[in-house]
Amino acid sequence: MSAAERKITRADIPSLADYEAKRDALRKAVMAAKQNRRVEVGPFATFTFENYDTMWLQVMEMLRIEKGGEAQIAGELETYNPLIPQGRELIATLMLEIEDAVRRERVLKTLGGIEETVFLDIGARRLKARPTEYEDRTTPDGKTSSVHWLRFTFSSADIADFVHGMAAVTLGIAHPNYGHMAAVSAAVRAELAKDFA
């Protein structure tokens, strides 16, 4: 099945006993791949680009933690399948990681709407991220969440330049209170190129 058709189905979910038996090896493999699916932008924003494997592991971990059995599976698939890229897009989880709780609360109140300011530059072209179809992640009083899910939609030319082009690729945030950019490395580009296959 191509990435453009990839969804987690009930048939992809093993028993918890089977998962437990292989959990360490499965987690190790996904975490190793995640190293080239992460981009840090500025002092505390980290993007992790999701795919089938990362979302499958998330579903399995939720089932393991909550132990909701068969009744839980449909809800987890409904939650996490929309975060699997469908061939002409990349989907990222943006984490605003501030360890100190007091500082985190103060900073998040200054970053309302940050999810609307994320971009990916491919050479001279800018792709603006769109928040995924989840509930609003910024409250009416202007406080943002520490977690956002963002979708980057690509044209054929964007994909070709991202995968094979010589143009620089930069991931950035243009919020008035958090303006930072980071180069997307060749290793990350090579890993993310698999999402277009």
Q: How high is the pLDDT of residue 135?
A: 61
Q: How high is the pLDDT of residue 37?
A: 97
pLDDT band at 21 (very low <50, low <70, confident <90, very high): very high
Q: Can you give the residue ranges of every domain in the chain?
A: 3-196
**13 membership: H or E segment, kind and range:** none
Q: What is the pLDDT of residues 100-112, one digit of tens each?
A: 999 999 999 999 9
Residue 150 has pLDDT above 70, yes or no: yes
What's the sign of the alpha-carbon dihedral 171, 174, 178, 179? positive
Instruction: Determine which of 106-110, 139-143, 159-163, 188-192 has the lowest per-residue pLDDT on average.
Output: 139-143
Q: How high is the pLDDT of residue 197?
A: 78
> If we measure between CA atoms, which residue out of 18, 150, 177, 26 comes closest to residue 82?
150
3-state SS, residue 71: helix
| Cα torsion through 168, 145, 28, 54, rounded to 10 | -70
Q: How high is the pLDDT of residue 15?
A: 93
Whose structure tokens read 């109140």?
Answer: 109
Any alpha helices (H) in the chain, and if so which ranges?
Answer: 16-34, 52-66, 70-80, 101-108, 156-164, 186-193
Write the CA distances from 131 to 32, 88, 128, integer angstroms. 27, 16, 10
R_g of the chain computed on alpha carbons? 17
Residue 1 has pLDDT above 70, yes or no: no
pLDDT band at 13 (very low <50, low <70, confident <90, very high): very high
End-to-end CA distance of the chain: 10
CA 11 – CA 77 distance, rounded (Å) = 11
What percent of the chain shows pLDDT beyond 70? 96
Phi, psi of 161 (to 5 degrees): -70, -35
Average pLDDT over residues 78-97: 94
Q: How high is the pLDDT of residue 178?
A: 97
Average pLDDT over residues 20-28: 95
Phi, psi of 182 (to 5 degrees): -145, 140
Residue 3 has pLDDT above 50, yes or no: no
pTM over 0.85: yes
